């Protein structure tokens, strides 16, 4: 699920809201099906890092036999 936060209430709850009109800190939170934060990606400049790490974490959460798209079997 993607989340829009136009009033920045959720950003404040997650500790990424900056004061005034400054943009929020750039962080991506990956939550599991129970709503628990499982991984946090933080980079102000590397957007690919957010996408790559989030996808890898989602894959590992949804398919425990694989990690980063690779089989975990020895």
CA gap 43, 68 in Å, rounded: 19
pLDDT of 8 strictly over 70: yes
How many angstroms from the chain centroid is the CA of residue 27? 7
Strands 27-31 and 37-42, bridge-based pairing = antiparallel
CA gap 57, 39 in Å, rounded: 7
Backbone angles phi, psi at 53, to 5 degrees: -70, -40
What is the reported pTM?
A: 0.71
60: left (phi over 0), alpha (psi -120 to 50) or beta: alpha
Per-residue pLDDT of 16-25, as tens digits, reads: 999 988 888 8
Per-residue pLDDT of 22-65, as tens digits, reads: 888 889 999 998 989 999 999 999 989 999 999 999 999 988 77
């Amino acid at each position: 699920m993607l989340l829009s936060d136009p009033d920045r209430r959720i950003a404040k709850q997650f500790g990424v809201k900056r004061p005034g009109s400054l943009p929020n800190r750039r962080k991506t939170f990956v939550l599991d099906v129970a709503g628990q934060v499982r991984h946090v990606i933080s980079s102000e400049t590397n957007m690919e890092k957010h996408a790559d790490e989030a996808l890898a974490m989602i894959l590992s959460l949804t398919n425990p036999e694989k990690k980063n798209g690779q089989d975990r079997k020895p």
